Amino acid sequence: MTVKKRHGRIHLFLAVIAVVWLFPVVYAVYTSLRPYADTAEHGYVSIPHPLSLANYRNAWSQGQIPLHFWNSMIVTIPAIVLILLLASSVAFVVSRFSFWFNVPLLIFFMSANLLPPQVIITPVYEMYLRIHLPTWLSSSGLAYDSFVGLILVNVAFQTGFCAFVLSNYMKTLPRELYESAVVDGAGVLRQFFQLTLPLCRPPLAALATLEVTWIYNEFFWATVLLQSGDKFPVTSSINN
């Protein structure tokens, strides 16, 4: 009887937490289905009169959501590929080789996560205005107001965290695997691409999921480092 009561209390607790967790999402969807005029007249906490998809149609057509969604993909996908490639390379060196600069190297890559972006926005902004790029990379001819510049700033700020996570995972891989690979004649590059990366698929998948969420939802850098409205990702376009 005690066990049943305990299970019942656990289920009740989980149900309450689920309701509390889902309520903001359900309320946001419910509010989005109300015309703004109805909300302005009766308030947000009221019984809706009409419900429609007009807000979604307006956002899709007037807000040019397909264009800005494509812009988000242009930034997010290359950034994630570069982040995971650079981070796994750094993590491989740090975890598999005993150089004196291993720890300083990891600290250097982690240092990008220690400062909030608002602190260094002025020097980054000035630097982007002085970095020239070929016109096939940037229509403005500068790192400012270009997809390349936005990709690079995301890579710079996210590589350190991913390198830290991957280095700790790679340290758990048995050294006997690498000793066997050396005996079989595998060089460093083959050990990295054919041995380490396949074994790191779980953390790579987890980091890719996190980075998609973070970079896709990123608002600050896109708003500051882009000027043309037709280049804004989804998050920055909502600001207009």
Beta bridge partners of 218: none
CA gap 103, 95 in Å, rounded:
10
- Tell me the three state secondary structure of residue 142: strand
**pLDDT, tens digit, for every residue of 22-59?**
998 888 888 888 887 777 777 777 776 778 888 888 87
Do 97 and 196 form a contact (C-beta atoms < 8 A)? no
- DSSP states along 40-79: HHH-SSS--S---SHHHHHHHHTTTHHHHHHHHHHHHHHH
In the structure encoding, which two tokens stand for residue 199, read together? 């074994």
The count of other CB atoms within 10 Å of the CB of residue 114 is: 9
As a 3-state breakdown, the chain gives helix, strand, coil percent values, each rounded to 5, of 75, 0, 25
200 φ/ψ angles, rounded to the nearest 5 degrees: -100, 20
Q: Give residue for tokens 């600050």.
A: 220
Residues 125 and 225 sit within 8 Å (Cβ to Cβ): yes
- The per-residue pLDDT string of the chain (240 residues; one tens digit each, 9 = 90 and over) reads 566 677 778 888 899 999 999 998 888 888 888 887 777 777 777 776 778 888 888 878 877 888 889 999 999 999 999 999 999 998 998 888 877 777 787 777 777 677 788 888 889 999 999 999 888 888 888 889 899 999 999 998 898 889 989 999 998 998 888 888 888 888 888 999 989 999 999 999 999 999 999 999 988 898 889 888 788 998 888 766
Q: How many CA atoms lie within 13 A of 200 on its CB side?
A: 29
- pLDDT at res. 200: 94
Distance set, CA 209 to CA 77, 96, 212, 216 (Å)? 11, 26, 5, 11
* Residue from 200, 95, 210, 99 nearest 161 by CA: 210
How many residues can be counted in the chain? Answer: 240
Q: What is the pTM of this model?
A: 0.80
What's the pLDDT at 75? 94
> Which whole-number Å values give the CA distances from 142 to 94, 113, 125, 147, in the listed order?
34, 26, 11, 10
Tell me which H or E stretch contains 240. Answer: none
